[in-house]
Structure 1
Amino acid sequence: MVSYHVCEYQDSDYKSVVDVFTKGAEEYIPSTFRHLLLLPQTLLLLLGVPLALVLVSGSWLLAVVCIFFLLPFLWFLAGQPWKNYVSKCLHTDMADITKSYLSDRGSGFWVAESGGQVVGTVGALPVKEPPSGRKQLQLFHLAVSSQHRGQGIAKALVRTVLQFARDQGYTDVVLETSTMQIGAVTLYLGMGFQKTGQRFPSVLWSLVGLRFVQLHYSFPSA
C-alpha cells in the first residue's frame, strides 16, 4: 500500500488541489448522463419527439437524425451541474483557500500527500447560522484522486475534520453530497454520519434528477 500523510494546506498546493477537486467532480458526468437517460421524462423525450416527427413528416430518417441531436444535448445537460459547481467554487471559497479557510482558528483546509504529490483534499468552515445551542462545522470538498482510492485516504481526511471539530469545541459536523456520489455517502454513513434530508440545490440539478443528501455527525458529549 502506498504511504500518505495528511497535512495543512499551503499556497504551493493550490494548483494540485484545484486539479484533484476538478477531476473528482467532472468524473461524475458519464454516470450522470447514464442516470439521465433512464429517467421517465428522458425516455419520453427520446421516444416521443422522434415518433412525433415520423407521424408529421413520414420520415424515419428525420427521426434518427433527431435522436443524434438529442443525445449530445443530454450529455451537455448532464455535465452542466458539475461544471457550474466547479466554476462557482473556484470563484468563491476556493479562489483563495488560505483566506477562506485558514484565516480563522475555527476553520481549516487539509491535503493528503503521497510521493510528494497532493492526492486528496478536504475543507471545513463554521456554519454561520446553526440551530440554537449548537456549534456546527461544515465539511467541504472531500476529494481523492482516482489513482489513490481504496487506500483509506478519504477516511483519514474525514477523521482529520472530525478531530479538528472536536478540538475546537464544535457540537456537530454537517455536509452535503449528491446522490450520484454513492461511495462518499457510504463512507460517511460508515463513519457515523446520519442522513437528515435531501434537496435539489438548483433547477439544473432537478433537471438531471440528482439531489443533494444532507448528513450530520454529532459528538457524543454534545
Structure 2
Amino acid sequence: MAPYQIRHYQERDYKLVVGLFSRGMMEHIPAAFRYTLLLHKTLLFLFAMPLTIVLVSGSWLLAVICVFFLLLLLRLLAGQPFKNYVTQCLQTDMADITKSYLNAHGSFWVAESGGQVVGTVGCLPVKDPPLGRKQMQLFHLSVSSQHRGQGIAKALVRTVFQFARDQGCSDVVLETSILQQSAITLYEAMGFRRTGKYSEVSIIKWLITFSVIHFTYSLPSTQKHER
C-alpha cells in the first residue's frame, strides 16, 4: 500500500496547500541564480563593471566591493519572478481554490501522508484548444521536499490523466520554465512532448529572460481511436 493517499481538495487544506505551493516555487531561486551567472551577458557585465571602476578610480578594493554587491543584486533579482508568480497566483486562481477549480469544470487534489498535505495538483479545461481537440491544462504540481522519490508526483499527474479522460479530453497540456529541470524530466518520462517554447519570465529584459516550455500529452484512448 502506498504511504500516501490522493483525495480531492477541501477548504481545511487551504493554508497547507498555499504553504506547499509557495515553498516549492522558492526552491527554484538558486537554479535561477546559477542560470543567471552562466549567461554571457551576465559574465560580461560582471567583468566590465569592476574593470571600469579600477580604470576610473584605481581602487581594486572598490572593484571587489562592486562585484560583491552586483552578485547580491543578481541573487535578489533571480528570485523576483518566482515571488511575483506566487503573489499573482494567490490573488487569482489560488485565492479561492474551490471556486477557481472545483466549481469551474476542473478539479484540484492533494496527496496526504501521515495526516499532512505533501503534494498538490490542479487542472482546468483549456478555453480555446486547437480545432478538433478538447484539452485539460495541469497546474501547480508540487510535492514537499521530504516526500519526493515516492512516486507522489507521478500519481498526481495520473490522477489528472484519468480526470481528463472522464471529461472526454484528447490531451493534457502544461507549461513550465526551463529552470525546473526535475519537472521537465518527470513530464518527459511520463510521455509529455514539447510542443512550444517562448520567452516570458524576465528579470531584466535586456539582460535575462527565461524560456517557458509548453508540453502536451495525448491521452492513450485518443491515440487508439485515431489508429
Q: TM-score, normalised by structure 2?
A: 0.93
State yes or no: 1:63 paired with 2:66. no
Structure 2 gap ranges (5+): 223-227
Give the drift of 1:29. 0.5
Match of 2:28 in 1: 28
Higher relative contact order (CA 8 A, sep 6+): 1
CA displacement 1:143-183 (0-9 Å, x = unmatched): 00000000000000000000000011011110001111111
- Root-mean-square deviation (Å): 1.5
**Residue 81 of structure 1 contacts residue 205 of structure 1 at CA under 8 Å; is this kept in 2?**
no
Counterpart for residue 125 of structure 1:
124
**What percentage of residue pairs aligned between the two structures are identical?**
64
Distance change (3 Å), C-alpha of 1:126 and 1:9 = same
Matches for 1:199-218 after TM superposition, within 5 Å: 199-204=198-203, 207-218=207-218
Q: CA deviation at 1:129?
A: 0.8
Q: Are residues 1:190 and 2:189 paired?
A: yes
Q: For residue 171 of structure 1, what is the aligned residue in structure 2? A: 170
- The TM-score, its normalising length taken from structure 1, stands at 0.95
CA deviation profile, 1:56-109 (whole Å, cap 9, x unmatched): 1111111111112101100111000110111111110000000000113x3000
Matched, 1:96 2:96: yes
Aligned residues: 221
CA displacement 1:108-132 (0-9 Å, x = unmatched): 0000000000000000011111111
Show the 5 A alignment for 1:42-57: 42-57=42-57
The residue type paired with residue 122 of structure 2 is G
SS of equivalent residue, structure 1 residue 80: helix
Amino acid at match of 1:121: T
Structure 1 residue 205 displacement after superposition? 7.8
Counterpart Cα distance in 2 of 1:208 and 1:149: 30
Could you tell me which runs of 5 or more consecutive residues in structure 1 were left unpaired when the two chains were aligned: none
Q: Distance in 1 between matches of 2:172 and 2:166?
A: 12
